[in-house]
């Protein structure tokens, strides 16, 4: 099928790490995105230090306090409190943890499945390739949101279930990219040389093939992480993703939507945080792709 | 950050200005159409095959019952029945009204009553609202306009049910099309008839021009009612703010308070018979065995600040309850029942004593999500972590009935029946949603249900309610107020039974 | 060519079959459909009767084959929640979702084609950068958040558009924008890349050398060639749109397939869920099949590989 086999893939342009680094540093949008992403990671890691309050502590006598720039706001709760009286800034900071945790975990699960499948298909070809291609095509034919929603609705939703479901659904692009990258690397001279010298297949795949296609892997991983974070947010928005009281940004938008006409910041803050994170990841991912294969910027 | 500030202020100002200038509500007045938005679609329009509020509302507007309870005086009046007589403990005779016609022209007589009552009383016909009908033994035709109803046991609340959920179907039509056809093209005898129904989307009611003049329900004035099912609260709010709807209900307190400031809208609120409670699964094989420990259950009640919830997020017209029933219901009392005031320290101590300083369990819920979240926050504060499963009512009921639920956040409207028999037994008399199953409690409640002497009934209910409270079988929370938001020129009244009476509505 | 089509058709059928099986087993994993059908107050005996009448006591594989045969013969079953024929229910909602999907696609192309073309012609200029910025920002904005902002702006503040429903074309404007903007960046990038490649190709240089105006070169030569991969992407994106419609249709209470899917999921209405998943998969498989055939017809090399 079309997209399973013909997704645009950058021609393998494996170059020295130092040259890549130099090119990366020369790219402003990559630097910006990467810097922003680092900031999000720092926020996530330091959330317990940075947060002025316990993000779960509810206080029904201090509800709906607006942020400090409003007349009724105060500095005790710089970004105000939510309708249950929980400190909004603290929840936003902790929310970064959840989004990043989801992005990273989903990509690890999906990456492991997809990369394995893609490597095997690309390296061995033949029947294995056909089987993998068929599985990828089947997976692509299933509407991700619908299947994820249905499964989560049936078996119950929690952070880890959402991660697992998304991880088991989002391996397709890894498999596709790994497959074609492996096919290209495979025919290179030194692999043939390694094969001739009697190295085991596992050794060749892990030692020779994988390192050479790692840059592509990283690009796919960043873009898939962004998509996983967005999917979690959409599931949570529909009430079938991460469950309260966890401060997922998607859930926060969902909880604040009834307030949006009169307390716009309640929805604007988590919504913007989410958009900014995705923006940073995409920028870094796009930049990385350009760095790895500058001739294929698309 | 300035941006949000400006945007928000500007927005609030424009909302006020725009709604002040707009006149779509007036246009609706001219068209004499009420556009009502509701969040849930009924599974069936046939009142016996759904148990959601919107189904009760549609049922009362499209169908009639034998008896009518005046919502202002609580006095029973004849509707399809002209009069009735209690023959003995288990037998009531009805004299029916003549000259009433169903929407399809079918004439109303004893056959309709006999057919409907016998149909719904048979378990194999799988009426969804079993609690409303399983007391009926049989109905017999005495003559064309006389019917005899026999109840299975002594059932003093019969009249109350006959004035509420037990509507009368046209027998010839129903026999032909069954519940499925009655859902697709509903036919009743009420003040409104269904002219268009798209499952899951909308239902249109039009005034029944031939509605019988002697009905205790006033003759309808509003020509057309457009009911649309809009799942998202903020979409409903956007509709009423932009003049796309004339009436929404079950608006949370915060939103109602905000909408109150909009000049084109009115907010009407009041207490309802709906009570809010948490169930705790202590059946054998419960997925949360810790709940079997009375101390854990008591800790859960102590952990929740019901007064603060009522004051801050539930709203006016709500009161804290201490037993599982609505105070105005016959037989409801909290006299002598144990009370568990808000005391997180005590809750923690009880949990520690029971050997569960920290616990994790599921909680299922289906409405008033902000209140569920407050409950979750209180439980978390004493060391009980919860996984929320927010479900549709039917799905939640399945979880409970199959014993998979641990904690529940339930509400119960008693089908607006003003008698404890319609409330407490649903959760404690071994019905499908009973996840405590104490035979002693059941026996008290059954005795209350099936005795004639009011004093005996009261005594039995009191003993049952006290036992439930003393053993902390459930968490009684509060009664739920209902907030309606309507365009300013719609004239309507809110009643505690949460019934929207389109036949009473008009324009100011 | 015929051999190619037959081969691809076979593959498409296999894929559809695999999806139907996965969907069936996944949805049946934990939900007890008998309890869902039985409703309130069901006793064990009732459940047994229901299991028997609906054949739920048979092995899952047998149930699957039975369901498959019935579905293939056009009997989609009855909705547990709405008590109505699934086929009638689904096909009544299909037009709304089709209109939404196509209008979103049109909207996406309407912004992505001009932007992509301009970005390619003026590569690395400010126009290119602006287009890229729009693409990156567009992809970052969660569609539910964007949809809510649209409601605020166009329904509440400006009062230009109705909030929800599907009564007139005006009802489709906001859902179309909310759904369409999200897929536009992918198109834009593809068109830009394709255009750059084609514009540097020999025959375009020849055309330019022959003195054809830039407009003629761009429109008649370059764009036509750059459009080939766009056709393939369109098929994929349309499938994606149908999935995304779940969120958007729920927000705008637009009574389409996505909203029905959401309802059936929350009501645990298995028969409806299964049919919608299967339908969306079949649509996707068919679209990619058509794109494959179209591409093979355009480019004979594909047929051979």
Residues C296 and A1: their CA atoms lie apart, in Å, by 11
Q: Is the pLDDT of residue B269 over 70?
A: yes
Q: Is the pLDDT of residue B413 over 60?
A: yes
A56 vs B contacts (CB less than 8 Å) = 377, 380
Query: Is there a contact between B351 and B295 (Cβ–Cβ < 8 Å)?
Result: yes
Query: Is there a contact between C175 and C258 (Cβ–Cβ < 8 Å)?
Result: no
3-state secondary structure of B448: helix
Q: Is the pLDDT of residue B72 over 70?
A: yes
CB atoms within 10 A of CB C77: 17
Q: Phi/psi at A61 (nearest 5 deg)?
A: -95, -5
Mean pLDDT, residues A239-263: 88
What distance in Å separates residue A281's CA from the closest CA in chain B?
A: 23
End-to-end CA distance of chain C: 12
* C 53-72 near B (Cβ less than 8 A): none
Question: What integer pLDDT is reported at residue B14 of this predicted model?
Answer: 55
Question: What integer pLDDT is reported at residue A284 of this predicted model?
Answer: 87
What distance in Å separates residue C96's CA from the closest CA in chain B?
A: 12
Mean pLDDT, residues C192-201: 78
Identify the band that residue B115 occupies on the pLDDT scale cut at 50, 70 and 90.
Answer: very high
Residue for token digits 């009531």? B92
Strands (E) in B100-243, as ranges, are 136-143, 146-151, 192-198, 202-207, 224-229
Structure tokens at C30: 């934990």
Residues B467 and B449: their CA atoms lie apart, in Å, by 17
Give the ranges where B153-207 is alpha helix by DSSP (H): 158-162, 171-184
Residues B39 and B240: their CA atoms lie apart, in Å, by 13
Query: Is there a contact between A135 and A117 (Cβ–Cβ < 8 Å)?
Result: yes
End-to-end CA distance of chain B: 44
Query: Is there a contact between B481 and B249 (Cβ–Cβ < 8 Å)?
Result: no
C19 vs A contacts (CB less than 8 Å) = 138, 141-142
Q: What is the mean pLDDT of chain B?
A: 89
Q: Is the pLDDT of residue C218 over 70?
A: no
Express each pLDDT in A195-238 by its tens digit.
777 777 778 777 777 887 887 888 889 889 999 999 999 998 88
Question: Of B90, B168, B169, whose CA–CA distance to B135 is shortest?
Answer: B90
Residues B253 and B259: their CA atoms lie apart, in Å, by 10
Residues C274 and C26: their CA atoms lie apart, in Å, by 10
Query: Is there a contact between A177 and A205 (Cβ–Cβ < 8 Å)?
Result: no
Residues A284 and A32: their CA atoms lie apart, in Å, by 8
Q: Is the pLDDT of residue C148 over 60?
A: yes
Mean pLDDT, residues B199-216: 92
Is B232 an 8 Å CB contact of chain C?
yes
In eight-state DSSP terms, residue B101 is B
B14 vs C contacts (CB less than 8 Å) = 156-157
Mean pLDDT, residues A36-52: 93
Is A16 an 8 Å CB contact of chain C?
no
Question: Of A115, A221, A105, whose CA–CA distance to A163 is shortest?
Answer: A105
Among chain A residues, CA nearest to B380: A56
- Which residues lie below 8 Å from residue C118, measured CB to CB, with a gap of 6+? C127, C128, C131
In eight-state DSSP terms, residue B108 is P
C neighbours by CB contacts (3+ pairs under 8 Å): A, B
Identify the band that residue C30 occupies on the pLDDT scale cut at 50, 70 and 90.
Answer: low
Identify the band that residue B433 occupies on the pLDDT scale cut at 50, 70 and 90.
Answer: confident
Mean pLDDT, residues C285-300: 75
Identify the band that residue B164 occupies on the pLDDT scale cut at 50, 70 and 90.
Answer: confident
Is A261 an 8 Å CB contact of chain C?
yes
Express each pLDDT in A49-90 by its tens digit.
999 999 988 888 888 889 988 888 888 899 999 988 899 999
Structure tokens at A94: 């902790």
Express each pLDDT in A271-282 by its tens digit.
999 999 999 998
CB atoms within 10 A of CB C160: 12
Identify the band that residue A4 occupies on the pLDDT scale cut at 50, 70 and 90.
Answer: very low
Identify the band that residue B137 occupies on the pLDDT scale cut at 50, 70 and 90.
Answer: very high
Question: What integer pLDDT is reported at residue B395 of this predicted model?
Answer: 75
Burial letters for A268-286: b for 16+ Cβ neighbours within 10 Å, e otherwise? bbbbbbbbebbbbbbbbbb
**Preferred mutation among A7, A34, A36, A143 to probe C, highest tally of C CBs within 10 A:** A143
3-state secondary structure of B338: coil
Bridge partners of A227, per DSSP, are none
Share in percent of chain C as helix, strand, coil (round to 5): 80, 0, 20
Q: Nearest 5 degrees, angle CA B476-CA B479-CA B485? A: 150
Query: Is there a contact between C265 and A153 (Cβ–Cβ < 8 Å)?
Result: yes
Query: Is there a contact between A20 and A215 (Cβ–Cβ < 8 Å)?
Result: yes
Report the sign of the C-alpha dihedral through residues B399, B400, B402, B407, in that order.
Answer: positive
Parallel/antiparallel/unpaired status of strands B474-487 and B265-280: antiparallel
Residue for token digits 């809009």? B230
**Preferred mutation among C32, C81, C85, C260 to probe B, highest tally of B CBs within 10 A:** C81
Residue for token digits 């092995």? C59
Contact between chains at B234 and C148 (C-beta distance less than 8 A): yes
What distance in Å separates residue C220's CA from the closest CA in chain B?
A: 45
- The answer to pTM > 0.95 is no
Contacts 24+ apart (CB under 8 A), C108-111: C108/C180, C108/C181, C108/C183, C108/C184, C108/C187, C108/C237, C109/C184, C109/C187, C111/C180, C111/C181, C111/C184, C111/C188
Residue for token digits 């494959």? C292
Among chain A residues, CA nearest to B240: A261
Express each pLDDT in A99-138 by its tens digit.
999 999 999 999 999 999 998 998 888 899 999 989 998 9
Cα separations (Å) of A274 from A219, B391, B454, C191?
Answer: 20, 26, 61, 28
Query: Is there a contact between B157 and B421 (Cβ–Cβ < 8 Å)?
Result: yes
A140 vs C contacts (CB less than 8 Å) = 236, 239, 284
Mean pLDDT, residues B482-497: 90
Q: What is the mean pLDDT of chain C?
A: 81
Express each pLDDT in B355-378 by its tens digit.
999 999 999 998 888 899 999 999
CA atoms within 13 A on the CB side of A88: 30
Q: Is the pLDDT of residue C36 over 70?
A: no
Q: What is the mean pLDDT of chain A?
A: 84
Whether the upstream peptide bond of residue C295 has omega within 30° of 0, thus cis, is no
Residues B332 and B166: their CA atoms lie apart, in Å, by 23
What distance in Å separates residue A271's CA from the closest CA in chain B?
A: 12
Structure tokens at B290: 């810790």
End-to-end CA distance of chain A: 22
Cα separations (Å) of C188 from C193, C233, C284?
Answer: 8, 11, 22
Query: Is there a contact between A80 and A73 (Cβ–Cβ < 8 Å)?
Result: yes
CA atoms within 13 A on the CB side of A176: 23
Residue for token digits 């499908």? B432
CA atoms within 13 A on the CB side of A264: 24
Bridge partners of B88, per DSSP, are B91
Q: Phi/psi at B195 (nearest 5 deg)?
A: -110, -20
Express each pLDDT in B25-52 by its tens digit.
455 777 899 999 998 888 889 999 887 8
Residues B471 and B38: their CA atoms lie apart, in Å, by 38
Question: What integer pLDDT is reported at residue B287 of this predicted model?
Answer: 92
Residues A173 and A177: their CA atoms lie apart, in Å, by 6
What ipTM does the predicted assembly reach? 0.84
Mean pLDDT, residues C44-67: 78
CB atoms within 10 A of CB C30: 11
Is B362 an 8 Å CB contact of chain C?
no
Query: Is there a contact between B290 and B383 (Cβ–Cβ < 8 Å)?
Result: no
């Amino acid at each position: 099928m079309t997209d399973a086999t013909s997704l645009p893939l950058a021609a393998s342009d494996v170059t020295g790490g130092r040259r890549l680094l130099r090119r990366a540093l020369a790219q402003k949008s990559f630097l910006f995105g990467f810097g922003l992403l680092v900031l999000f990671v720092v926020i996530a890691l330091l959330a317990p230090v940075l947060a002025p309050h316990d993000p779960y502590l509810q206080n029904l006598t201090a509800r709906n306090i607006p942020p400090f720039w409003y007349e009724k706001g105060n500095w005790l709760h710089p970004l105000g409190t939510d309708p249950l009286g929980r400190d909004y800034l603290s929840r936003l900071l902790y929310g970064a943890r959840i989004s990043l945790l989801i992005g990273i975990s989903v990509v690890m699960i999906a990456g492991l499945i997809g990369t394995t499948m893609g490597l095997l298909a690309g390296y061995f070809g033949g029947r294995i390739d056909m089987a993998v291609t068929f599985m990828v095509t089947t997976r692509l034919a299933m509407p991700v949101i619908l299947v994820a929603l249905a499964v989560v609705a049936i078996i119950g939703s929690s952070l880890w279930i959402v991660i697992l479901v998304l991880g088991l659904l989002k391996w397709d692009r890894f498999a596709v990219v790994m497959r074609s990258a492996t096919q290209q690397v495979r025919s290179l001279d030194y692999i043939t040389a390694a094969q001739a010298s009697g190295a085991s297949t596992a050794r060749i795949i892990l030692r020779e093939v994988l390192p050479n296609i790692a840059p592509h892997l990283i690009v796919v991983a960043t873009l898939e992480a962004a998509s996983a974070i967005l999917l979690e947010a959409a599931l949570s928005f529909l009430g079938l993703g991460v469950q309260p009281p966890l401060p997922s940004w998607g859930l926060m938008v969902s909880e604040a939507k009834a307030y949006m006409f009169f307390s716009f910041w309640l929805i604007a803050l988590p919504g913007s945080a989410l958009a900014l994170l995705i923006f940073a990841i995409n920028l870094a991912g796009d930049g990385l792709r350009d760095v790895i294969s500058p001739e294929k910027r698309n | 950050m300035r941006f949000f500030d400006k945007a928000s202020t500007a927005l609030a100002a424009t909302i006020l200005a725009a709604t002040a200038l707009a006149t779509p509500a007036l246009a609706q007045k001219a068209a004499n159409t009420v556009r009502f938005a509701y969040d849930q679609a009924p599974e069936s329009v046939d009142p016996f095959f759904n148990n959601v509020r919107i189904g009760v509302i549609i049922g009362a507007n499209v169908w009639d019952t034998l008896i009518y309870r005046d919502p202002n005086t609580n006095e029973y009046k004849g509707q399809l029945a002209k009069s009735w007589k209690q023959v003995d403990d288990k037998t009531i005779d009805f004299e029916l009204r003549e000259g009433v016609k169903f929407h399809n022209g079918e004439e109303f007589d004893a056959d309709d009553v006999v057919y409907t009552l016998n149909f719904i009383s048979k378990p194999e016909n799988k009426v969804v609202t079993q609690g409303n009908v399983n007391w009926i033994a049989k109905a017999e035709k005495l003559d064309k306009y006389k019917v005899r109803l026999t109840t299975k046991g002594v059932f003093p609340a019969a009249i109350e049910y006959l004035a509420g959920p037990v509507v009368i179907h046209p027998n010839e039509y129903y026999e032909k099309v069954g519940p499925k056809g009655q859902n697709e093209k509903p036919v009743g005898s009420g003040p409104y008839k269904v002219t268009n129904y798209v499952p899951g989307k909308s239902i249109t009611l039009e005034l029944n021009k031939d509605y019988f003049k002697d009905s205790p329900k006033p003759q309808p004035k509003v020509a057309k009612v457009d009911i649309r099912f809009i799942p998202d609260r903020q979409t409903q709010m956007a509709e009423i703010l932009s003049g796309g709807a004339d009436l929404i209900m079950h608006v949370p307190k915060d939103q109602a308070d905000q909408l109150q400031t909009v000049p084109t809208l009115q907010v009407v609120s009041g207490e309802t018979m709906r009570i809010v409670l948490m169930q705790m699964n202590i059946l054998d094989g419960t997925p949360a065995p810790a709940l079997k420990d009375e101390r854990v259950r008591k800790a859960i009640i102590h952990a929740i600040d019901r007064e603060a919830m009522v004051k801050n997020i539930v709203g006016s017209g709500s009161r804290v309850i201490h037993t599982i029933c609505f105070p105005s219901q016959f037989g409801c009392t909290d006299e002598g029942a144990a009370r568990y005031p808000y005391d997180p320290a005590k809750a923690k101590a009880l949990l520690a004593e029971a050997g569960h300083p920290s616990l994790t369990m599921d909680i299922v819920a289906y409405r008033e999500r902000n209140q569920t979240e407050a409950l979750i926050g209180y439980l978390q504060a004493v060391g009980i972590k919860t996984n929320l499963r927010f479900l549709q009512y039917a799905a939640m009921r399945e979880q409970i009935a199959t014993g998979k639920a641990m904690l529940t956040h339930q509400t119960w409207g008693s089908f607006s029946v003003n008698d404890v028999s319609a409330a407490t037994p649903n959760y404690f008399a071994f019905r499908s949603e009973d996840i405590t199953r104490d035979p002693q409690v059941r026996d008290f409640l059954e005795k209350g249900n099936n005795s004639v002497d009011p004093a005996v009934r009261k005594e039995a209910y009191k003993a049952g309610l006290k036992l439930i409270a003393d053993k902390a079988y459930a968490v009684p929370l509060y009664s739920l107020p209902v907030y309606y938001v309507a365009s300013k020129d719609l004239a309507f009244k809110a009643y505690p039974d949460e019934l929207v009476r389109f036949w009473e509505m008009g324009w100011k | 060519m015929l051999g190619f089509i037959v081969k691809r058709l076979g593959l498409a059928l296999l894929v559809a079959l695999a999806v139907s099986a996965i969907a069936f087993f996944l949805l049946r994993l934990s939900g007890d459909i008998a309890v869902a059908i039985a409703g309130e107050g069901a006793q064990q005996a009732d459940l047994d009767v229901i299991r028997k009448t609906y054949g739920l006591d048979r092995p899952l594989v047998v149930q699957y084959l039975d369901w498959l045969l019935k579905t293939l013969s056009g009997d989609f079953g009855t909705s547990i929640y709405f008590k109505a024929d699934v086929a009638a229910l689904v096909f009544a909602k299909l037009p709304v979702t089709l209109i939404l999907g196509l209008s979103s696609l049109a909207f996406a192309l309407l912004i992505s084609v001009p932007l992509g073309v301009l970005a390619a012609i003026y590569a690395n200029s400010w126009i290119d950068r602006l287009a890229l910025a729009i693409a990156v920002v567009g992809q970052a904005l969660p569609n539910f958040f964007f949809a809510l902002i649209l409601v605020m702006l166009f329904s509440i503040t400006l009062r230009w558009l109705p909030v929800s429903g599907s009564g007139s074309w005006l009802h489709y404007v906001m859902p179309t924008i909310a759904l369409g903007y999200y897929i536009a960046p992918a198109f834009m990038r593809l068109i830009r890349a394709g255009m750059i490649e084609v514009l540097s190709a020999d025959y375009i240089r020849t055309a330019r050398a022959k003195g054809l105006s830039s407009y003629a070169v761009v429109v008649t030569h370059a764009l036509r060639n750059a459009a080939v991969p766009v056709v393939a992407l369109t098929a994929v994106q349309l499938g994606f749109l149908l999935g995304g419609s779940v969120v958007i249709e729920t927000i705008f209470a637009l009574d389409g397939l996505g909203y029905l899917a959401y309802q059936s999921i929350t009501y645990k209405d298995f028969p409806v869920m299964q049919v919608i998943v299967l339908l969306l998969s079949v649509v996707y498989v068919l679209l990619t099949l058509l794109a494959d055939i179209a591409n093979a017809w355009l480019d004979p090399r594909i047929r051979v590989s």
